[in-house]
Amino acid sequence: MHPAREWTREEVLAATSKPLPKSLTTMTLALAAIGFVIWVAGLFIAPDRAWRAFHFNWLFFTVLSSAGVMFVAVQRITTARWSREVIRFMEGYVAFLPVAFVFLLVILFAGKGHIFPWTHEAYPNHEKATYYNGSFLIARDIITFGILTVMSLWYIYSCVRLDVGGSPESGASWAAGIRERMRTGFGEERREIHSTHSMQGKLAVFLALVFGYGWSVLAWDLSMGLSLHFTSTLYGWWFFMGGWLCGLTTLSLLTMAWRNYLGAEELIVEKHFHDLGKLCFAFTAFWGYLTFGQYLVIWYGNMGEETHFMRLRLIHPWKWMTVTSVVFAFLIPFFGLLSRAAKVFRPTFALFALCSLLGLWLTRYVEVYPSTFGENVTSLPFGLWEVGAFVFYLGVWGFCYTRFMDAFPRMRVTLMTSPYRDEVQIPVNPETMEPLPAHE
């Protein structure tokens, strides 16, 4: 889908190049600093809660960012055109992943004794003693997330290069060297469009495989494995599809914010919000299906090593947090986004998107805290340390995102304005520019 009128590249760049205010960078750094101070204080006052708060917020922000990059890759797999005006807002998620990699190292080496049961509990059987062996787990998680991060950066680099290579120099000074490397060797536009499209076709498929397998492993190790006795083959899907839904709702909110800030009402139109609303609704339904599907088979299977996981989350003091997370993540957005009007009217769409994000953040809490605290608590451990860790992550994520968005073109200007933009619907050999046979 394209805007009603044809835009030139210069017009799109001019309409979307408004620099972000310095106060926004200051605010993100202030949030990160305040959250960090609170978290460090928690390390001395309540170290278990501080580390567990750090961990569940890592799960929330990291899978959200990774799923966002995967959604961008899916646009290539499906050769989507509807999202060209808005998908760059999601490509910025990749900027957090290198930081998340560092935070993962901190969790695995400095915080493991406060978070993971395999550091101080007996293994229930020989198989889990092998799988949850500390050295094996740490090594595979670092390698898995490292590969996922590198492939995500590579993919987004190829997306941004196509726009930087054909646009005048502009953007934040910190990325001037990166933009210069992107322009080096950048050739004739038509050939670059096809060669990039061809390369991304391969990268996107491999990224999808790494994403699905990698986040299944990470979900088992970093979330499900917090209860050594629990096993669910559906857990990985349920976990990373929650991140996928977070990515979509965040994109919806950011699209609204960018549209208002840039005054881009002619570029970002009602149909974009309708499409985003349909995606949020569809994956809310899918997440609810996975959630109930996992619960149902555990309920009718009635096996002790499975039912204890659900029972724990449905007794005091965890019950109402669990119920609240489901209400906000599923019930409110599902019924709220049923109508077209709720999707295209931005205040209601924003409300339901925020409800979904809140519910899924609480879901990450419910994944981590009951497993690590168990039944030996009389009141819900939720307060300053959990909010402080969230504020820290929000500030860091916001800083990474805004730095990326100030450094590169904010829309896919090449695929929006090039006369060759829709030739990619028919694959060609990027060297000869001849159409490929259908079977290739």
- Residues 395-430: pLDDT tens digits? 999 999 999 999 999 999 999 999 988 888 777 776
Quick one: pLDDT at residue 3? 46
Three-point CA angle 29, 104, 320, nearest 5°: 80
User: Rounded to an integer, what distance in angstroms lies between the CA atom of residue 268 and that of residue 302?
Assistant: 50
User: Rounded to an integer, what distance in angstroms lies between the CA atom of residue 209 and that of residue 200?
Assistant: 14
Quick one: pLDDT at residue 305? 84
Quick one: pLDDT at residue 1? 45
Cα distance between the two ends of the chain: 26
What is the full DSSP assignment across 197-229? Answer: HHHHHHHHHHHHHHHHHHHHHHHHHHTGGGSTT
Quick one: pLDDT at residue 439? 44
Nearest to 163 by CA among 57, 13, 375, 288: 13
**pLDDT average per 10 residues of sequence, the chain (440 residues):** 72 94 96 98 97 98 98 95 96 98 98 95 92 96 98 98 93 94 92 92 96 97 95 94 97 98 95 97 97 93 90 95 97 96 97 98 97 92 97 98 97 93 76 64
User: Rounded to an integer, what distance in angstroms lies between the CA atom of residue 94 and that of residue 55?
Assistant: 19
Is this structure's pTM higher than 0.85?
yes
Quick one: pLDDT at residue 9? 92
Quick one: pLDDT at residue 426? 75
Quick one: pLDDT at residue 438? 56
Quick one: pLDDT at residue 422? 84
Model pLDDT for residues 163-177, shown as the tens digit of each residue: 999 899 999 999 999
In degrees rounded to 5, what are phi and psi of residue 435? -60, 140
Quick one: pLDDT at residue 247? 97
